Amino acid sequence: MDVKWDKLQPKLSKFVLFTLRKLKFSTMTPVQASVIPLLLGNKDVAAEAVTGSGKTLAFLIPLLERMHRRAEPWKHFEIGGIVISPTRELAKQTSEVLKDFLDAMEQPFKQVLMIGGTKIAEDIEMLKSEGANIIIATPGRLEDLLTRGDVPLHVAVKSLEMLVLDEADRLLELGFEKSLNTILEFFPKQRRTSLFSATQTRQLELLVRAGLRNPVIVSVKQKSSEPSTFSTPKELVNYYKICSPSDKMKFLIQFLKHQGSGKKYILFFLTCACVDYFFELLRKLLPDFEMHSLHGKMKKKREKMLEKFRSATSGILFCTDVMERGIDIPDIDWVVQFDPPTSVSAFVHRCGRTARIGQEGSALTLLMPNEDAYVDFIQRNQKVHLEEYNADLDGSDEPGIDKITKELQLRDRACFDKANRAFVSFVRAYGKHECYFILRTKDLDFAGLARSFGLLRLPKMPELKNLQLDFEPVEMDFNDISYKDKQKESIRKCKLEEFKETGVWPGAKGIKRPKQTVAWEEAKKARMEKKEKRKKKKEYVQKKIEEGKTKNKRKRKKMTDEQWKELEDNISFLKRMKKDKNVDCDD
Ligand SMILES: Nc1ncnc2c1ncn2[C@@H]1O[C@H](COP(=O)(O)OP(=O)(O)OP(=O)(O)O)[C@@H](O)[C@H]1O
């Protein structure tokens, strides 16, 4: 049953009710109805609820109420509330929601946003001159501010009323466990702590034990008549499509044309370099679509892009998992995952960018034939229901794409570089999949993949060494591809001259010039020995690969229910906490 805000006991403050009316939120969502009374009633809460269920207000309202109810006025630099968010975007978004409420206060609390990507000296200056009552921060920056001691933040937090760990599982996934433990040390024990997440993991349980005192565990499931509880909203229809690597891009283009340019899409890629390349490519291939791109390696542009896309009524946002959590963009019709995400739980969060607060939405994940077991895995492991996307599209009717892709690279070396970088980054990131027992680098169809990236030739990389691949490079001297940018091109030409003379690319790391002192005969002998060793190693590796393939084939067929269960149970141990700069991360 829907509960109205004014029915809450004790009653919410006037400024809160006023803002809720202004936002036209007449009733509480289930997570709000469960969590707000607990936090107001002095309990710590660890809450799990599906994406887009209104978790932000579930912690902001109690935080404001608790601070507002204190009889003693808050001092200029006395912190009553801290919200820790995994990404800058999410922190900014929370701060904007908070602002709506603060604007309605007669004497508003001072809120500050402390996130990476800005100079820490500016934050210190601001805290010194303007003070603060509520901090919304990313963990890295907050830890810095607390430990550096440039401002007496550790003193200012002595009366902390409430600490919020938003998207806590993501905080852990990004490797912030140590930072969080350091931060927790600075806070008074007498505080309320709430922890929010759309998924539960074993590591999260450890954080709950470390940071919360006798917490009430709230798990808000769907109001669904279905017997099993899914971790995605019931309004979300979740599709998958299996395409050969060479057809994947073509299928995506067909799919987008079929759906039309009047809708709003979020398109997820595995790496920043893939976002950069495919953004450039699709801009040329689909000129009718409004397009934006966003990833963790963009600095100031990130905010602008997000704002533009947020206010647009249609278009595509190309992004990495920096956008996977918490980001609340209205009216997303489709979430398309061009590749499965590196972390298993990210799947649910990516999909959760659509079908928010009762709205309808769809998600589509593209998989390659070697990834078909992922469908079963994600359905069991993440409690989602996936349907096969069946709109008579298969990518085969888009013949012009290969030609245009190649032409773009031939016309500008910058695009040629981007294509290569995207491919290399993809292969590297692929090897870091959490469920690498299903998504295995050695099962990748590298030649097909290289064709889908439109590569003119295969890049030199260890993963491709010793492999016999059915890939025809374009026959040409690749040094003939020039940059459109004149300055870049003239630098390249100078380097090319030097390379032709010395055989060494200027500035290239790790490449040593041949030692001039070694006698020619000796050098030749050493080279031959090395060659022989390489040959033997190649034969050995090839043999192992062949053995591995047959073994794995046998294993996959024999996977029993118990083995699936075991794999799922062990998933948290398989997590790699190392931040992978090549994929995407934040501070
Ligand atoms: N009581 C309410 N009534 C109507 N709309 C609401 C209510 N509470 C929140 N919303 C709106 O619902 C949307 C989703 O809320 P929010 O971003 O807090 O969800 P979330 O659970 O944190 O999602 P995620 O897990 O993806 O971070 C927002 O646009 C918010 O303004």
CA dist 345 and 347 (Å) reads 5
What's the confidence (pLDDT) of residue 288? 93
Phi, psi of 82 (to 5 degrees): -130, 130
Q: Which two tokens stand for residue 444?
A: 């990748």
The set of residues, in sequence order, having a beta carbon less than 8 Å from that of 226 and lying 6+ positions away, is 234
Task: Spell out the alpha helix ranges (H) of 313-399.
Answer: 346-351, 373-381
pLDDT of res. 436: 80
How far, in Å, from the CA of 156 to the mean position of ligand 1?
30
Is there a contact between 348 and 231 (Cβ–Cβ < 8 Å)? Answer: yes
Residue in this structure with the two tokens 């001072």, named with its chain if needed: 110
Question: 268 with 324: CB under 8 angstroms?
Answer: yes
DSSP bridge pairs for 315: 264
**Spatial separation of the C-alpha atoms in residues 146 and 187, rounded to whole Å:** 10
Q: Report how far ligand 1's centroid is from the alpha carbon of 56 (Å).
A: 6
CA distances 461 to 242, 420, 439, Å, are 27, 11, 19
Rg from Cα positions in the chain: 27
55 Cβ closer than 6 Å to some ligand 1 atom: yes
Q: Give yes or no for residue 356 CB within 6 A of ligand 1.
A: yes
Complex ipTM: 0.96
Q: How far apart are CA 131 and CA 186, in angstroms?
A: 18
Q: Assess whether pLDDT exceeds 60 at residue 149.
A: yes
Q: Are strands 3-4 and 27-28 parallel, antiparallel or unpaired?
A: antiparallel
Give Cβ neighbours of residue 553 (< 8 Å, ≥ 6 apart). Answer: none
Nearest to 314 by CA among 300, 299, 331: 331
Contacts of residue 407, Cβ cutoff 8 Å, sequence gap at least 6: none
33 closest CA partner among 58, 65, 69, 68: 58
What letter does residue 387 receive in the DSSP assignment? E
pLDDT tens digits, one per residue of 332-346? 999 999 999 988 878
User: CA-CA-CA-CA torsion for 185, 213, 113, 342, nearest 10 degrees?
Assistant: 90
Q: Is the CB of 328 under 6 A from ligand 1?
A: yes
What CATH class is the domain 3-220? alpha beta
Cis amide prior to 10 (ω within 30 degrees):
yes
547 φ/ψ sector (left φ>0, alpha ψ -120 to 50, else beta)? alpha
3-state DSSP helix/strand/coil % of the chain, to nearest 5: 50, 15, 40
Considering only 143-157, 175-189, 219-233, 471-485, which range has the smallest mean pLDDT?
219-233
**β-strands 236-242, 111-114: how paired?**
unpaired
- Tokens linked to 297: 């390696």
pLDDT in tens, 438-491: 898 888 999 999 998 999 999 989 889 888 888 989 988 899 999 999 999 999
Assess contact for 430 and 340: CB atoms under 8 A.
no
Q: What is the pLDDT of residue 2?
A: 74
Residue 195 confidence (pLDDT)? 93
Distance 196 CA to ligand 1 centre (A): 13
Residue 46, pLDDT score? 92
Nearest to 89 by CA among 56, 121, 124, 116: 116
Interval between CA 52 and ligand 1 midpoint (Å): 5
pLDDT at position 397 is: 61
Confidence of residue 364 (pLDDT cuts 50, 70, 90): very high
3-state SS class at 538: helix
**236-276+288-388 CATH fold:** Rossmann fold (3.40.50)
Q: What is the pLDDT of residues 418-444, one digit of tens each?
A: 999 999 999 999 998 888 878 988 889
E strand or H helix at 264, and its extent? strand 264-268
Distance 326 CA to ligand 1 centre (A): 9
- Hey, which of 36, 56, 99 would you mutate to test ligand 1's pocket, going by the most ligand atoms within 8 Å of its Cβ? 56
Domain with CATH 3.40.50.300 in the chain: 3-220, 236-276+288-388
Share of the chain above pLDDT 90, in %: 45
Q: Could you tell me which residue, 249 or 299, shows the higher pLDDT?
A: 249
Distance CA 441, CA 18 (A): 55
Return the higher-pLDDT residue of 376 and 65.
Answer: 65
Check pocket membership of 56 for ligand 1, CB cut-off 6 A.
yes
Distance CA 451, CA 248 (A): 10
- pLDDT on residue 565: 55
Residue 579: pLDDT band (50, 70, 90) is: very low
Query: Pocket of ligand 1, candidates 55, 59, 89, 199: which has the most ligand atoms within 8 Å of its Cβ, to mutate?
Result: 55
How far is the centre of ligand 1, averaged over its atoms, from the C-alpha of 502 (Å)? 61
pTM recorded for the entire structure: 0.66
Judge whether 586 and 86 are in contact, CB under 8 Å. Answer: yes
| 326 touches ligand 1 (CB under 6 Å) | yes
* 515 neighbors 509 (Cβ within 8 angstroms): no
Q: For residue 50, what pLDDT band results from cuts at 50, 70 and 90?
A: confident
Are 350 and 335 in contact by the 8 Å Cβ rule? The answer is yes
pLDDT in tens, 508-562: 655 544 544 456 667 677 778 888 888 887 787 777 767 665 554 444 444 556 5
Banded model confidence at residue 572, pLDDT cuts 50, 70, 90: very low
pLDDT(574) > 80:
no
Whether residue 132 contacts residue 79, with contact meaning beta carbons closer than 8 Å, is answered with: yes
Within 8 A by CB and 6+ apart from 26, the residues are 4, 5, 20
Average pLDDT, rounded, for the chain: 84
User: Is 339 in a helix, a strand, or coil?
Assistant: coil
Residue 365: phi, psi to the nearest 5?
-115, 130
Half-sphere exposure (Cβ direction) of 493: Cα atoms closer than 13 Å: 9
Q: Report the distance separating Cα 199 and Cα 187, nearest Å.
A: 26
